[in-house]
Amino acid sequence: MTKDRRAKQDARERKALTGESYTTARRHTSRTAEPQFKPDHCASCLQQLPNQVERLFCSELCRQTAEVIRYWRAIVRDGRIENSDVSYALQTRVAHLLAGGYPKQKRHLSDEIRQQVWARDEGRCRGCGNPGEEIDHIHGDSADLANLQLLCAPCHHRKTEQRMVPAGAEQKSYIAALQRSRVAPQSPLLLCDDHERWSTIERTLRKERREGLLAQLAEYGFKRADFASYSWSDMWDEVLDENYDEDDFEAHGIDDDSGFGPDSYFARAMAKDD
């Protein structure tokens, strides 16, 4: 691909993501530009956030997408992507994105459960008998002791790979577009893609959003303490129901019908285990 064709393609991808005109997108992709961030919009897909969402992403999938992009950008720039273990880690993270995201909360294990697994398996991999390194979910996300086993890293990786299938054409196109528009450019397209700055600026941006929403709440004559027993989402449902009907909000992520969602063949394969 020639340099001019690549520039035009980058501009079209930026236009589709940001909603800018083609001329503006072409200008931004032809020079270093300030990473994109729109207050009160999802930091990853740039769709407007409803008041019920307190943080900076419209969905867990969007948050994880940005996390993977930052990791990808970092390992490309420091050369770690040449390390086979790091490359494998990236491959696994991307696979989880294609499967609709990794259910971190469901798969979180307490220290007590971890100790029980190590004690029961006597510190040995149940696959090959070598020293164990990682706790594996045998099927699904259940944290029941019977669904957990200790494996060494090679056995764990091999088990995961056996449950992964090659990405389809649509999936490959999606990942290639992410790589071109959000990983390859020297200057990050979105602020949430900036692996050097995001960790320090995210807290400030979250605080600003929360303060802005609390100011809106005050305009309705309420304060957060009035809804102490409510979650953030339930509080806003209550307030907005009494004041006006918001348009239905649909979280923007990878569409279930696109081949990447939780009902896809890839997702079913990944859902069998880590």
Residues 6+ apart with CB under 8 A from 253: 45, 58, 59, 61, 62, 65, 100, 101
Report the pLDDT value the prediction gives residue 157, as an integer from 0 to 100: 80
Give the span between the Cα atoms of 131 and 14, in whole angstroms.
Answer: 48
Q: What's the CATH code, domain 104-166? A: 3.40.1800
pLDDT along the chain (274 residues), means of 10: 63 69 68 79 95 95 95 95 90 86 75 92 92 87 87 86 72 89 92 94 96 95 94 94 57 39 44 45
SS (H, E, C) 212-251: HHHHHHHHCCCCHHHHCCCCHHHHHHHHHHHHCCCCCCCC
Query: How far is it, in rounded angstroms, from Cα 7 to Cα 10?
Result: 5
Round the CA-based radius of gyration of the chain to a whole number and report it.
Answer: 22
Q: What is the pLDDT of residue 221?
A: 93
Amino acid, res. 152: C
Non-local (6+) Cβ contacts of 262 within 8 A are 99, 100, 256, 271
Q: Phi and psi for 146 in degrees, rounded to 5?
A: -70, -15
Q: Distance between CA atoms of 130 and 216, rounded to whole angstroms? A: 58
Q: Tell me, what's the pLDDT at 14?
A: 66
pLDDT for 101 equals 76
Rounded to whole angstroms, the Cα distance separating 240 from 244 reads 5
Residue 113 · residue 146 · CB < 8 Å: no
What is the secondary structure of 138-196 as a DSSP string? SSTT---GGGEEEE-HHHHHHHHHHT-----HHHHHHHHHHIIIIISSSS-SBGGG-TT
Inter-CA distances, 223 with 75, 106, 154, 215, Å: 44, 32, 53, 9
For the chain, the structural domain boundaries read 104-166
pLDDT (tens digit per residue) in 30-72: 555 678 999 999 999 999 999 999 999 999 999 999 999 999 9
